[in-house]
A and B are shown apart, each in its own frame.
Chain A
Amino acid sequence: DIAMTQSPDSLAVSLGERATINCKSSQNLLYSSNNKNYLAWYQQKPGQPPKLLIYWASTREVGVPGRFSGSGSGTDFTLTIDSLQAEDVARYYCQQYYTGLSFGQGTMVEIK
């Protein structure tokens, strides 16, 4: 099974500043035949289901604001939220879909 580890567990960022969340997988998520990383990012607010933000490590889902971006390859990935807004307060999860599925433990983003 592929284990996903996020860091930090929580972070507080001032409005308008950048938030960076890291995700490390226990195995390579880059599929050589199509050169794609099987990694997605979700946002979950209290009482709501998750919302897909990013897939293929860096492809932004339709309708997701441009301040959200994903990067990384292989085993190390990053979700960046540029210019944090109040509505971005949420828990963020990475998810691998290279073999089965598994999620990171989540990172809580709050306003400083």
Chain B
Amino acid sequence: EVQVVESGGDLVKPGESLRLSCAASGFSVIDAWVTWVRQAPGKGLEWVGHIESQSDGGTIEFAAPVKGRFTISRDDSKNVLFLQMNSLTSEDTAVYYCATKYPPVGAHVFDSWGQGTLVTVSS
């Protein structure tokens, strides 16, 4: 069964950094298209960024609000994906979801989601 589990959410101060993890099971992260989506309290879904499978080029893209501050990386040996978030602001406060669809269907759509991890940025 394809599963993803996020972790690493915390309360941090503006300007600080945080790294979220997305642990995968039932598939290899190197072979999947994986995305990060966030949802501020009471708000809608917002795409954060994604990474494509290595065989499809491993392209990484980010949404404009986080470009230059957030990065995505993988630890293939541990089958974990990371979202490194720097220079955090209150606007980044949200539940962060990791999601994928495996096997890939050549589209950035996602049928396997974690339960999310809460990031709160506040002084």
Contacts from A to B (Cβ < 8 Å): 1, 38, 40, 42, 44, 49-52, 55-56, 61, 91, 93, 95, 97, 100-106
If A49-B113, A103-B46, A106-B45 touch, does A55 touch B107 (CB 8 Å cutoff)? yes
- Give the complex CA separation of A50 and B49 in angstroms: 17
B116 contacts A100, C-beta separation under 8 Å: no
| Docked-complex contact A52 and B109, CB < 8 angstroms | yes
CB within 8 Å of A: which residues of B?
35, 37, 44-47, 50, 61, 63-64, 97, 99, 101, 105, 107-111, 113-116
- Contact among A40, A101, A105 with B44 in the assembled complex (CB-CB below 8 Å): A105
* Additional pairs, 5, CB under 8 Å, beyond known A55-B107, A93-B45: A1-B64, A44-B45, A56-B107, A97-B109, A102-B47
Cross-chain contact A49 with B107 (CB below 8 angstroms): no
Tell me the bound Cα distance from A91 to B45 in angstroms: 11
For B37, list chain A residues within 8 Å (CB): 50
Give 12 A-B contacts (CB < 8 Å), ordered by A residue. Answer: A1-B64, A49-B99, A50-B37, A50-B97, A52-B109, A52-B111, A55-B109, A97-B109, A100-B47, A102-B47, A104-B44, A106-B45
| A38 with B107: CB separation less than 8 A | yes
Per the bound structure, the CA–CA distance linking A7 and B97 in Å amounts to 25
Determine whether the beta carbon of B63 is less than 8 Å from that of A52. no
Contact A55 B105, beta carbon cutoff 8 Å: yes
Asked if A95 meets B109 with Cβ closer than 8 Å, knowing A49-B114, A103-B44, A105-B44, the reply is: yes
A40 touches B46 (CB 8 A): no
- The docked-state distance in angstroms from the alpha carbon of A40 to that of B111 is 11
Asked if B107 and A97 sit within 8 Å, CB to CB, the answer is yes
Residues of B close to A102: CB separation below 8 A: 47
With A and B bound together, what is the CA distance between A49 and B101 in angstroms? Answer: 14
Assembled-state Cα–Cα distance A100/B61 (Å): 7
User: Complex: how many Å from CA A53 to CA B65?
Assistant: 27
Tell whether, in the assembled complex, residue B45 and residue A103 are in contact, meaning their CB atoms are under 8 Å apart: yes
CA distance A93 to B115 in the complex (A): 18
